[in-house]
């Protein structure tokens, strides 16, 4: 059955987007969780709305300790079951033996290769049997996300629904929701890290930079996606 994008009311709330996306998926839906402020907010929204939303995470092997702390806090607070996925260890070993530990800094091609091994391949396993997946992407985050839709057909992942409930939220709205609801927050966020991925590929952003400027900062802005959100 080919899924269809549901109609949403003008100014739909994140809860309304989530509910419409989950109902229209006609099957299991999970959040791809990196334990960002966005993902934590989505978990809280889904919990309060009583929505059936799974949660999976990809452990690339190079995450910050602070990221694991958020995962632990969420598990405790929401009695959450997180489905963890890991890269194929043979592929990681082959890459590091051939090109060393920091080949991703040498070229965009090398960086995409590393992301493909550590993120994209595990993602393909994580969503293989899903009817929809949820992300914390927001239009405001970067130029690569400015044309996102609240709910999309993910043709590159089998035609399942891709649900982006926080698409129109500003960072100010996100922080306000997090603080009002006393949500777990990555300690690095308070140090200027606005988008947190693998430790070697993430730095704090500078004043005036967009949220994802601290990811792969040696590359051009239009290249700064890891491959999880190919379009």
Share of the chain above pLDDT 70, in %: 93
Tell which wins on pLDDT, 218 or 161: 161
Name the band, by pLDDT with cuts 50, 70 and 90, for residue 20: very high
Least confident of 56-60, 143-147, 212-216: 143-147
Whether residue 231 is predicted with pLDDT greater than 60 in this model: the reply is no
Burial (CB < 10 A; 0-12, 13-18, 19+), residue 97, is exposed
The owner of tokens 């009817």 is 131
Select which of 114, 198, 201, 226 is catalytic: 226
Mean pLDDT of the chain: 92
Whether residue 171 is predicted with pLDDT greater than 80 in this model: the reply is yes
Q: What is the pLDDT, as a whole number, of residue 19?
A: 97
Q: Which two tokens stand for residue 4?
A: 């269809």
226 is catalytic: yes
Burial (CB < 10 A; 0-12, 13-18, 19+), residue 28, is middle
Q: Per-residue DSSP letters for 152-215?
A: EEEGGGTTEEEE-TTTT--HHHHHHHHHHTT----GGGGGT-SS--BGGGB-PPPTT--TTTTB
Residues 14-188: name the CATH superfamily: HUPs (3.40.50.620)
Compute the distance between CA of residue 158 and CA of residue 154 in angstroms, rounded to an integer.
7
pLDDT in tens, 176-196: 999 999 999 999 999 999 889
Burial (CB < 10 A; 0-12, 13-18, 19+), residue 98, is exposed
Q: What is the pLDDT, as a whole number, of residue 143?
A: 62
Q: What is the mean pLDDT of residues 150-179?
A: 95
Compute the distance between CA of residue 164 and CA of residue 90 in angstroms, rounded to an integer.
33
pLDDT in tens, 89-147: 999 999 999 999 999 999 999 999 999 999 999 999 999 999 999 999 998 876 655 67
Q: What is the mean pLDDT of residues 8-15?
A: 94
The owner of tokens 């590393």 is 114
Sequence-ordered list of residues with C-beta below 8 angstroms from that of 117, at least 6 positions apart, any chain: 87, 88, 91, 92, 95
Q: What is the pLDDT, as a whole number, of residue 229?
A: 53
Phi then psi for residue 56, to 5 deg, are: -130, 155
What are the sequence ranges of the domains in the chain?
14-188
Name the band, by pLDDT with cuts 50, 70 and 90, for residue 223: low
């Amino acid at each position: 059955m080919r899924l269809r994008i549901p109609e949403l009311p003008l100014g739909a709330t994140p809860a309304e987007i989530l509910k419409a996306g989950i109902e229209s998926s006609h099957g299991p839906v999970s959040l791809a969780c990196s334990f960002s402020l966005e993902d934590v907010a989505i978990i809280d929204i889904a919990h309060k709305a009583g929505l059936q939303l799974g949660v999976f995470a990809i452990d690339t092997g190079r995450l910050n300790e602070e990221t694991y702390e958020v995962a632990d806090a969420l598990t405790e607070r929401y009695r959450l079951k997180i489905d963890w996925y890991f890269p194929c260890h043979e592929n990681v070993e082959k890459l590091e033996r051939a090109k060393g530990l920091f080949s991703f800094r040498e070229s965009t091609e090398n960086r995409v290769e590393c992301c493909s091994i550590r993120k994209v391949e595990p993602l393909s396993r994580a969503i293989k049997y899903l009817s929809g997946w949820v992300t914390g992407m927001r239009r405001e985050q970067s130029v690569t996300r400015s044309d996102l839709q609240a709910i999309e057909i993910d043709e590159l992942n089998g035609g399942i629904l891709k649900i982006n409930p926080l698409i129109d939220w500003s960072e100010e709205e996100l922080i306000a929701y997090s603080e009002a609801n006393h949500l777990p927050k990555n300690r690095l966020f308070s140090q200027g890290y606005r988008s947190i991925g693998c430790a070697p590929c993430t730095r704090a952003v500078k004043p005036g930079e967009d949220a994802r400027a601290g990811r792969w900062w040696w590359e051009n802005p239009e290249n700064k996606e890891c491959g999880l959100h190919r379009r």
